[in-house]
Amino acid sequence: MALKLNHCMPSSQPLSSRPNHRLRSPKFFMASTLGSGLKTVENGKKPYMPPREVHVQVTHTMPPQKIEIFKSMEDWAEKNILVHLKPVEKCWQPQDFLPDPASEGFDEQVRELRERAKEIPDDYFVVLVGDMITEEALPTYQTMLNTLDGVRDETGASLTSWAVWTRAWTAEENRHGDLLNKYLYLSGRVDMRQIEKTTQYLIGSGMDPRTENNPYLGFIYTSFQERATFISHGNTARLAKDHGDLKLAQICGTIASDEKRHETAYTKIVEKLFEIDPDGTVMAFADMMRKKISMPAHLMFDGQDDNLFKHYSEVAQRLGVYTAKDYADILEFLVGRWKVEKLTGLSGEGRRAQDYVCGLPSRIRRLEERAQGQAKESPTIPFSWIFNRKVKL
């Protein structure tokens, strides 16, 4: 079922004029991609060209003097943020959840894994593959964090708390894609080559979160995203359990708990920004929400389906893995977490931003309900990730 909320939502930037953009699912509030990427690839003129984003690129919107705020938070970040990293020796590794290729029982364990996977429907695999590809585009997310003024890793091995966090966060996240990738490979249920191509395209395309090198926007974005991934991996865990695969449920649940820990760290950074600079932070929050939180894999492409991300998101919505309601719930959670309603002493613009974000969750829900009332019968379409078997959107 495709909800049609996105075009109802306030937006500061025009989307592409392609007619099917009006049909995009609302839950990801994502930016558009141009179809020219596909044509360019086919024509062979510029084979390296990925699908393109259409937003105007806006850079360095944080006033330079505010960089001092982040420098002054160095010690605070060491004591309050780095503590949310787990020492490597205490971390789980993908191998803990997978058949051991060096053991006698390897063949048998793989057979059992494949038997369990047979009980899981195709639509679940579409969502799990999309989640895995999202995790596998990790180079893009480390790059995104290192675009942020005042907190970027200036050398690649910088010892600032911000840089230490970003590298260790990346290293923790790296296990997520690894684990899901190896599980999916062993399951025998999916077209690994198509999946690998999609990952290559996606990393080549990057992402456009519209955070403008601005760490206020960047950390609001990551707070939202960590919670979104916590919710979606939690839901794939729940569904795996429903399908009788407790080992896959454990895999997804373990990843979800990492995301929760990361959410705690990023929301703490923004909480501190609210304390130091409430006006600037509430305006950044409103700005980010007006632009909508695009999902990290919104530029996804498999060489075939020009609307792959939209289709994957619609399956995720139908299965209840990540929905328009989740988007509103996350926003409401963050408004409460940062006590936005209780902020006082704001400027006029700050108060308008406060009113906007506090009223937004109920506006999104109203639009969602209206869209659900108008929902039409969903089509069934092929996904290359599962050998072009068809899945209902």
CA 336 – CA 358 distance, rounded (Å): 9
> Does 135 show up as a binding residue in the annotation?
yes
Is residue 173 a contact point for Fe ion (CB under 5 A)? yes
3-state class of 344 per DSSP?
Answer: coil
Least separation in angstroms between residue 176's CB and Fe ion is 4
Is residue 259 a contact point for Fe ion (CB under 5 A)? yes
Q: Which amino acid is at 141?
A: Y
Least separation in angstroms between residue 230's CB and Fe ion is 8
State which residue, 262 or 291, has the beta carbon closest to Fe ion.
262
Using CB under 5 A, which of the segments 26-34, 57-65, 170-178, 354-362 binds Fe ion? 170-178
Is residue 262 a contact point for Fe ion (CB under 5 A)? yes
Closest-CB residue for Fe ion?
Answer: 176
Least separation in angstroms between residue 195's CB and Fe ion is 17
Q: How many Å separate Cα 41 from the centre of its chain? A: 26
> Does 173 show up as a binding residue in the annotation?
yes
Alpha carbon distances (Å) from 309 to 134, 199, 233, 284, 314: 10, 12, 17, 27, 8
Using CB under 5 A, which of the segments 12-20, 143-151, 219-227, 354-362 binds Fe ion? 219-227
Using CB under 5 A, which of the segments 7-15, 97-105, 241-249, 262-270 binds Fe ion? 262-270
> Does 108 show up as a binding residue in the annotation?
no
Least separation in angstroms between residue 135's CB and Fe ion is 5
- 33's tokens: 């991609």
Site string for Fe ion, 121-140 (x = CB under 5 A): --------------x-----
Q: Is 212 left (phi over 0), alpha (psi -120 to 50) or beta?
A: left
Within 84-121, residue ranges assigned H as helices are 106-118
CA 379 – CA 390 distance, rounded (Å): 10
- State the angle between helix axes of 215-242 and 324-337 in degrees (0 to 180), rounded to the nearest 10: 130
Using CB under 5 A, which of the segments 92-100, 200-208, 261-269, 330-338 binds Fe ion? 261-269
Helices (H) and strands (E) in the chain, counts: 14, 2
CA 293 – CA 109 distance, rounded (Å): 40
- CB contact at 8 A, 121 and 389: no
Is residue 227 a contact point for Fe ion (CB under 5 A)? no
Least separation in angstroms between residue 54's CB and Fe ion is 27
CA 393 – CA 350 distance, rounded (Å): 40
**What are the catalytic residues?**
92, 135, 173, 176, 226, 229, 258-259, 262
State which residue, 226 or 314, has the beta carbon closest to Fe ion.
226
State which residue, 262 or 318, has the beta carbon closest to Fe ion.
262
**Residues at the interface with Fe ion (CB under 5 A):** 135, 173, 176, 226, 229, 259, 262
Task: Please state the residue numbers annotated as binding site.
Answer: 135, 173, 176, 226, 259, 262
